[in-house]
Amino acid sequence: MTGSVAIVTGASRGIGRAVALELGRLGGSVVINYTTQEDAARETARLVEEVGGRAIIEQGNVALAHDADKLVESALAAFGRVDVLVNNAGVTRDILIMRMKDEDWDTVMETNLKGTFHMIRAVTRTMLKQRFGRIINTTSVVGITGNAGQANYAASKAGIIGLTKSAARELASRGITVNAVAPGLIRTDMTAKLDEQALSVLVAGIPVGRAGFPEEVAHAILFLASPAAAYITGQVLHVDGGMVM
């Protein structure tokens, strides 16, 4: 990835931070997007530079089209091009449908699905001019299976799969691939809220017998961003220990 420039949304922690670090370790330059956690984003940038990469941080809410456009503009101003887009920003508002407010639905859909659309649209013109690009979207196993109490989240992640396949068909002829990764149970701040009993129940349904780590998702994303994946587009790569087969 030496010389490559990547935008990683939601990169202040978890999977996004792991992706940024792997990009930096392989010689890439990274635009680290965050919404509210500036200190964590600065720490991610410091770690990227520590392993040999270059990094800048950029605040922005991808649910807003203007902020998505600004992210791409910042990348171009700092590094001159954008080779890789990793759409990782996401939120949850878990609650049963009968108790779900419109705000719970809208917040999740606007960040997860509309935010992914905003970023793809914002970066497309640049990648078309380059006749090269790698776009990797983060979906989830629940976008395929559904999950009680997560109708909004599951719908947003299922939508990302459809968006991924549609964008892949539109952009393939210009050297741009669009793929998705579907993480299962990964040890992040999001899953840290689970108590040990709930975690044990989930792990019992995973054939490899454990939760995954952010770095394991990052490795899959880096593969899809690399020259080795040039003939892969419109696909969803499960990183879930066999949870969904």
Q: Which residues 6+ apart lie within 8 Å of 46 measured at CB? A: none
Angle at 185 between CA 55 and CA 237, to 5 degrees: 70
Q: Which residues are paired to 7 by β-bridges?
A: 31, 85
Rounded CA gap, 94 and 91, in Å?
10
Residues designated as active site = 153
Structure tokens at 192: 């840290």
Long-range contacts from 79-82, C-beta under 8 angstroms, 24+ separation = 79/5, 79/29, 79/31, 79/54, 80/5, 81/5, 81/126, 81/130, 82/5, 82/6, 82/7, 82/123, 82/126, 82/127, 82/130, 82/133
Structure tokens at 135: 């776009």
